[in-house]
Structure 1
C-alpha cells in the first residue's frame, strides 16, 4: 500500500500536518541546533597572559606591558605572549622597569597561572581550569570527542528509529540530551565535563532525524520541498537564537542550563506527536496507521475512503506482517542501492564536515566572535528564498550540485585574498550560504532515495559516516592558527568534489517515496542524464490531472 495514493484523499498538507509541523516538529529542531554549538562558547579561550603575583595590586594591563614579551605570528601580526613572561625581580617599584633593557632579559614559562581578559567571556571552562598553553588542545579535543559521541549515537539511532518508531526514538534521545546537558553545568573538572559532553554528543545530530523524517513522511510529494525548507529555517533560527543567548549569558554553567532546561517542555508533546503512518504500514501495523489517517482526514475536513482497508490486498498484508529485521547489509544488497548509499554517504560526509567546520570557524575569523556566529546563522536564511523555487524547477540533483560548487569555489577563492580580512569574511559568508543550501537538499534527496523500510537506517548510516567530519574538522580548524585560510581551502576542495558526485544520483523531484527494497530498484543511477529535466511520476501526474 502506497501512502502517497491515500494522502490526496485525506489531505497532503492540510491543517493536521501544519499543526504538527508548526507546533511540534519545528520546535523539536532547536535542541540539536543549541547543543551542537553551545560548546564553542562554554570552551571559549579569551586572551590571556602570565600572572605576576607580586604586582597583582596594580592595573592588569600595565603589569602586562612591563612583564610580558611580544611575539610575531606567522601572518606578521604582533601580540603579547600568552605563555611566557620576563624573568625579573618583580618586588621593585614600577619606575624601575622603565629603565630595563628587555632585549637582554630572558623569558620563562608562566609560574603562577594566568590573567584572563574577561571582557568577552565572564567565565569559561578554559578560564576556570586553566586549559591554556601546554593544555591548549583541550577545547579541540573536547569537540573531537563530541563528534565521536555523535558518530556512535547516529549508528544506534537508525536502528531505534526503524525498529521501534520515529516517535519513541525522538523522546529517548531528548531524555539523554537533557540529562547530560544539565549534568554538564555541575561538572567540577575537565574530565567529568568531557564525559557529559560525549553524552550530549551522542544525540547530535541524530535527534534531528525524527522531526525531519516525520515531516517528510506526513506530507505528499508536492510538499516535501516546503517542509524541508521550513525544517532548515527552524535550524538556522536555532543558531541565531543561540548567538543571542551566548551573547547575553557569558558564564558557562548558566549557559549549559539555559540551553537545556527549556527543552524539558518538549516532553509534553508525547501525547500530541503522531507516529509515522508510512512506518506503521511498512511494519504491518495497519489498524494504528488507519487510526492516524482517520484523525488526519477529520482535522483536514476530509474523509478516508471506506474501502481503504479492503484495498490492501491479502498479498500486501502478508508482506507487511512478515517481520524482517532490516540491517546495514540491505543497503548494500543490490548494486543499485549500494552505489546510491556510497554516493549519498560521501556527499553527506563532505556536507557535514564543511557545514560544521565553517560554523566552528566563525569565531576564529577575528572581530566580534558573537557577531560572527550570528552572521554564520543569519546568512543561511536568505538562501532559502532562492532554494525553494530552484528545487522545484531544477530538481534536487542540480540544486545540490550548484550549491556545493558555488560554496566550494568561494572557500577556495579565500587563498587569493588571504591578506584582506573583509573580503575573506565575505567569501566565508558565500561559502556558508552554499553549504547551507546543499545541507537542505541532501537530506531531502536521501530520504527520497532510501525506501521506507530502511529509510531511517540509511539516513543514519550516511549521517553517521558524515559525523566523521566533526571528528577531524576541529583539528583542521586548529591549523588556522598558522594560516587563516588553510581550513577554508581544504573545505572548499571537499565541496567541489561532492558537487561533482551529486550528478550521478537519479532525480527524485515529484517521484513517489519508495516503500520497499524492490521499489528502490526502479530508479537507477543517472550517470548520463545530467541535463534531463525532472519528470513527474506517472501516477502522480494522473492523480493531478484527475483533480483539475
Structure 2
C-alpha cells in the first residue's frame, strides 16, 4: 500500500499548491508576533514624576522653564539612599501656598533651610509622564509600587501559552488541523479586540490570558498543517521559513508601533486584520494525513486529487482507487506518555523543554 509521501512524489511535494498554502499560513505566523512581544510597546514605561497639585499654576505664574520647574519641584535622584525617589516620591509641600518664592522656593519659603531636610511623600495624586503617546503603564499608572503589574500582564499571556500548548494539540488531533486553526484564530482575534476595549486592568488581564490560551495554538496548527502537506525533503525548510515569518512580523510591528503610539489603537491595528484569516475556511483544505489517521480515506483522496490538479499533475492510475495507509498501519490514540515513551523521543522532549 502506498503512503501519502509516495503519492506526493508524483503530484508534487512542494509545487504550486503547497507554495500557496505556505504563503497564506505565513501570515498567521507573522500575526503572532504582536501577541508574543507586544508588551514591549503596550507596556512601555516612559520617564515620569509625581503630580504635585499647584506646581503647574506656580510654574506659569513664575515663568519657569521645564528645566527650572523640574529643578525646583522634583526630588533629587536617590536622596538618602532612596532609589527612584524622583519618580516615586514628591516633596511634602503645599504648592498652592501664596507665599512661596519663585526663586528656590523650597529653600527660601518653606523654612527647612535645605532640600535634604524636606520630608517626602508618595505620589498620592498620580504621575506626570514625559510621553506624547499612551501605554497600559500611563493609563493604569503601573509604576513604582505597581510596576510589577506590567510583568504580570506578560505572565498572563505566557500562562495562556503554556496551557494552550497542552490542550490545543489534542484538539488538532481530535477535530482536525483546519477546524483547530479557524476556531483559535476567531477566539484570539476576538480576545485581542476585547483587550483594546478593556475598561480596567483586571479585565485587560483576563482577555490577555484568553488570547494567550488560543494564539499559540493557532500558530502551532498552521505549522502542523503546512508540514503535513509537503514532502519529507521540504519539511525542514518550510518549518524554518514559517518561523522566519514571525521575525518579519516583528519588523512590521516596530513600524506600526512607531506610527501609532497609543496602545489601544495599536492593539486594534494589529488585531483586526486577523479576522481576515477566517477566510482560510474556504481557502485551505484539511490535512490529508489527519484524514487518513481518522480512517477518512475517501475525503483524503478528494484532497489529493485537488492537490494534483492545482499542481498541474495527474494522479497515476495505480493510485486512483487505493486506500491510503500511514507507515505504522494503525491508528494509535496519542497520550502525554508518548513524549517520554522511548529513549530517543525522551531526548528530543527534554532538549525542546530546555530550549524553551
TM over 0.5: yes
Matching of residues 207-286 of structure 1 within 5 Å: 207-286=218-297
| Other-structure match for 2:351 | 347
Aligned partner of 1:64 among 62, 70, 95 = 70
Equivalent pair of 1:50/1:113 in contact (CA under 8 Å): yes
Query: Which of the residues 190, 202, 214 maps onto 1:191?
Result: 202
Q: Please, what TM-score do these two structures have when normalized by structure 2?
A: 0.87
Cα distance between partner residues in 2 of 1:172 and 1:312: 30
Structure 2 match to 1:329? 337
Match of 1:445 in 2: none
Residue 128 of structure 1 aligns to a residue whose secondary structure is helix
Q: TM-score, normalised by structure 1?
A: 0.58
Instruction: Give the CA deviation at 1:344.
Output: 2.9
Contact 2:227 2:235 survives alignment (8 Å)? yes
Q: Shift of the alpha carbon at 1:61?
A: 4.7
Change (3 A) 1:245 1:351: farther
Local SS of the residue matching 2:77: strand
Q: How does 1:375-414 map to 2 (within 5 A)?
A: none
1:491-544, Cα deviation, whole Å (9 max, x unpaired): xxxxxxxxxxxxxxxxxxxxxxxxxxxxxxxxxxxxxxxxxxxxxxxxxxxxxx
How far apart are 1:62 and its partner, in Å?
A: 3.4
Alpha-carbon shift at residue 325 of structure 1 (Å): 3.4
CA distance in 2, matches of 1:60, 1:327: 64
Q: CA deviation at 1:293?
A: 1.0
Contact map agreement 1:49 1:80 (CA 8 A) in 2: no
Counterpart CA distance in 2 for 1:188 and 1:301 is: 54
Equivalent-residue separation in structure 1 for 2:75 and 2:179 (angstroms): 58
CA distance in 1, matches of 2:339, 2:347: 12
Detail structure 1 runs of 4+ shifted over 6 Å in the superposition: none
Q: Match for 2:93 among 64, 88, 96? A: 88
Q: Shift of the alpha carbon at 1:145?
A: 1.4
Q: Which residue of 2 aligns with 1:20?
A: 21
Structure 2 SS opposite 1:27:
helix
Is 1:179 the counterpart of 2:190 in the alignment?
A: yes
| Greater RCO (CA < 8 Å, at least 6 residues apart) | 2
Offset of residue 267 of structure 1 = 1.0
**Alignment of structure 1 residues 38-53 onto 2, 5 Å:** 38-53=38-53
Q: Secondary structure at the match of 1:93?
A: coil
Note the residue ranges of structure 1 that are not aligned, 5 or more in a row. Answer: 353-548
Q: Does the 8 Å CA contact 2:182/2:280 hold for their aligned counterparts?
A: no
Please give the secondary structure, in 2, of the residue aligned with 1:224. helix
Q: C-alpha separation between the residues in 2 aligned to 1:296 and 1:64?
A: 68
2:125 to 104, 112, 125: 112
- Partners of 2:351 and 2:258 lie apart in 1 by 34
1:449-485 C-alpha deviation (Å, 9 max, x unpaired): xxxxxxxxxxxxxxxxxxxxxxxxxxxxxxxxxxxxx
Q: Residue 306 of structure 2 corresponds to which residue in structure 1?
A: 295
Structure 2 match to 1:33 = 33
The CA deviation at 1:312 is 4.0
SS of match in other structure, 2:124: coil
What is the CA distance between 1:79 and its match in structure 2?
A: 6.9
Mapping of residues 467-486 of structure 1, within 5 Å: none
**Would the aligned equivalents of 1:36 and 1:204 in 2 still touch at CA under 8 Å?**
no
- Going from structure 1 to structure 2, the CA distance change for 1:235 and 1:112 (only over 3 Å counts) comes to same
Equivalent-residue separation in structure 2 for 1:153 and 1:34 (angstroms): 17
Equivalent in the alignment of 1:2: 3
RMSD (CA atoms)? 2.4
Kindly name which structure, 1 or 2, has the bigger radius of gyration based on alpha carbons: 2
CA contact (8 A) 2:28 2:277 kept: yes
Partners of 2:33 and 2:260 in 1: CA distance: 17
Change (3 A) 1:148 1:186: same
The SS at the match of 2:128 is strand
- CA distance, structure 2, for counterparts of residue 345 and residue 241 of structure 1: 32
Distance 1:210 1:61 in 2: 54
Contact 1:274 1:292 in 2 (8 A): yes
Query: Deviation at 1:346?
Result: 3.1
C-alpha separation in 2, matches of 1:108 and 1:43:
26
Post-superposition shift, 1:200? 0.8
Distance in 2 (CA, whole Å) between partners of 1:28 and 1:136 is 32
- Structure-to-structure mapping, 1:511-522, within 5 angstroms: none
Change in 2 beyond 3 A, CA 1:272/1:31: same
Deviations, residues 242-264 of structure 1 (Å, cap 9, x unaligned): 11111111111111111111111
Contact 1:294 1:304 in 2 (8 A): yes
Partners in 2 of 1:198 and 1:312 — Cα distance?
A: 43
C-alpha deviation, 1:67, in angstroms: 2.2
